[in-house]
Amino acid sequence: MKTTPMKRNVGIINKRTFFAGWLALVGFAGAVVSDARADYAEEVLKDGPVAWWRFQDSASGDRAVAKDETKQHPGVYHGNTTVAASVPGIGGQTAKFDGRNAFVEVANHADFALDTISVECWFCSTQPWPVAGWPGSATLVTKGTKGAGSSDWTIIGGDNGSVSVRVGPKSGTDAVYASPPNLNDGQWHHVIWTRTSEGQNRLYVDGVLVATGKDSGGAITNDRPIQIGGDPFLNGKYLDGQMAEVTIYKTALTAERVAAHVKAAGIEPNRFSVAQAAPTPARKPKRETYIGPIPGPNVKDSSGWRDVASTEKDADGFVPLFDGKTFNGWEGNAKVWRIEDGALVGGSRSESIRASEYLCTVNGFTNFELRLAFKALATRGEEVNGGIQFRSSRTGSTQVKGYQADLGVFKFDPGKFWGCLFDNSRRNKILAGDPFANEKLVHKGDWNNYVIRAEGRHIQLWFNGTPTVDYTEPDDRISQTGIFGLQTHSGPPQELWYKNIRIKTLPD
């Protein structure tokens, strides 16, 4: 990226004074710039943006120019695009899209040939997002091409209000990283997707890591333009809503830098007021059925959302992931999951569920030993199924992809899954372990103990004290980091109980 005079001046004059003057010069409405607005601009510039569209333009009609704050990559407004007041506490302005033909297009440039990249944006919408898979229901930001493995990336909204990133490494396999659902709730949400040239992806929403994984690595560059709010080239869907602060970086921002950006906004994650810039009258959020940090009872401190029990180490160095009382540190469907007698309980013994449901941790983990107890209660013979996802990621509103320490009996081949390592929604097969031999270890209808140890590519499982899996992952494309998820499977009425969930992190 070329160094601009604006960037050089930061080290010469007082930053606060400089940013107040700079934001006024580029068109912010108002003579006084708040500390929060200056702070946010400072944090963005610290990370050296390649391009930064703040939509601080006096005109936004068809073919008007959308300036880039780095002065290198102006875009062009198309269709019925208008500009509106800023995201509260941020500065700049927002671009309003009509969901029909409005979008912003930025011509391709050598500066965008980035295989290591971060894309940041804010969005606010009440547009229905029901469509799962590509092209979803709304395009947020994209540099897409035609076909799988065609060297591209796109960020879309769909699948019941989920934000997903689709990465297509050249000649590789497309990878998808998705947030929890119901983000199309009329509130402002902050999104950062990061990716390294080795293929390590992370998706943050409102400062929280919601998905992580590794694609096949390599090139994701192409000669297509960057498009914001719509993608007519690929028949993508148009956003009915607003976007702000769309920024491209040539590095993969760290979790610390993501947290700095959110903190600099001066507003708590998921608690943004939309009164100043709502695209349409706000409807009742669908999120009343969702627990966890979106919006749930989790504790928020200066470092973001956290598990309140995370510092209570026992003599062996383990800390609880579940405090026995609240959903702090977890997210999932409140219609399916509850807390009872100090346990997390999924499902019901009187009603079946149509799709498997997962209660997932907010944070991801890499190397660890996890210990917990579970109880599987069947209502139809022996058929009951659940499991513990680890090094996993959400792929939509309900599904989770990754390793699973499996348990239970199910109608699909091989029929029994006790104590084995299953690759869920990815290779969809048992990777290691003999579930038939392990069945003799089960305390049916009572509490059982599971231990999961993951160090590098080495994975071990113990079921009621007996080792059942010793596996080394041969495929270096498979991610070795991610969230935990407790499963209750679709099928006949059943209950899966999980308690005493403790973890000890191990050195990388």
Note down pLDDT in tens along the chain; length 508 residues.
333 332 222 222 233 333 333 333 333 222 223 344 568 999 999 999 999 999 999 888 889 999 999 999 999 999 999 999 888 878 889 999 999 999 999 999 999 999 999 999 999 999 999 887 778 899 999 998 876 657 899 999 988 888 999 998 987 777 888 888 889 989 899 999 999 999 999 999 988 888 888 888 889 999 999 999 998 876 678 999 999 999 999 999 998 899 899 888 865 544 322 222 222 233 333 333 445 543 333 333 333 333 333 446 777 889 999 989 888 888 888 889 999 999 999 999 888 887 899 999 878 889 999 999 999 998 777 788 999 999 998 876 578 999 999 999 876 555 689 999 999 989 989 999 999 999 999 999 999 999 999 999 999 999 999 999 999 999 988 989 889 999 999 888 999 999 999 999 998 7
Backbone angles phi, psi at 257, to 5 degrees: -70, -35
Where in the chain are all domains bearing CATH 2.60.120.200? 5-264
- 208 contacts: CB under 8 Å, gap ≥ 6: 269, 293, 294, 304, 305, 362
Is residue 272 classed exposed, middle or buried when 0-12, 13-18 and 19+ CB atoms within 10 A define those classes?
Answer: buried
What class, spelled out in words, does domain 5-264 have in CATH?
A: mainly beta
The confidence score (pLDDT) of residue 396 equals 61
Measured in residues, the chain has a length of 508
Decide if 268 contacts 167 (C-beta within 8 A). no
DSSP state of 27: T
The confidence score (pLDDT) of residue 309 equals 39
Instruction: Give the Å distances, CA to CA, from 327 to 314, 360, 366.
Output: 21, 10, 22
- 441 contacts: CB under 8 Å, gap ≥ 6: 418, 419, 448, 463, 464, 466, 468
Q: Look-up: residue for tokens 């979803």?
A: 136
Q: What is the pTM of this model?
A: 0.54
Instruction: Give the Å distances, CA to CA, from 56 to 24, 68, 341, 489.
Output: 11, 9, 54, 49
Decide if 506 contacts 369 (C-beta within 8 A). yes
Architecture of domain 286-505 in CATH?
Sandwich (2.60)
| Helical ranges in 172-296 per DSSP H | 255-264
3-state secondary structure of 295: coil
User: Rounded distance, CA 265 to CA 275, Å?
Assistant: 17
Quickly count: other Cβ atoms within 10 Å of residue 45's Cβ. 19
Where in the chain are all domains bearing CATH 2.60.120.560? 286-505
Strands (E), 296-383: 299-301, 304-306, 319-320, 330-333, 337-340, 343-348, 357-361, 368-378
The confidence score (pLDDT) of residue 149 equals 59
User: Rounded distance, CA 230 to CA 236, Å?
Assistant: 6
> Helices 35-46 & 15-25, crossing angle to 10 degrees?
100
Decide if 162 contacts 397 (C-beta within 8 A). yes
The confidence score (pLDDT) of residue 30 equals 27
Element (H or E) spanning 19, and its range?
Answer: helix 15-25
- 361 contacts: CB under 8 Å, gap ≥ 6: 307, 321, 329, 330, 483, 484, 485
Positive or negative, the CA dihedral 315, 365, 361, 464 is negative
Provide the edge-to-edge strand list for the sheet that holds 103-106.
65-66, 75-78, 103-106, 226-228, 138-143, 152-158, 162-168, 175-178
Quickly count: other Cβ atoms within 10 Å of residue 115's Cβ. 18
The confidence score (pLDDT) of residue 293 equals 42
3-state secondary structure of 101: coil
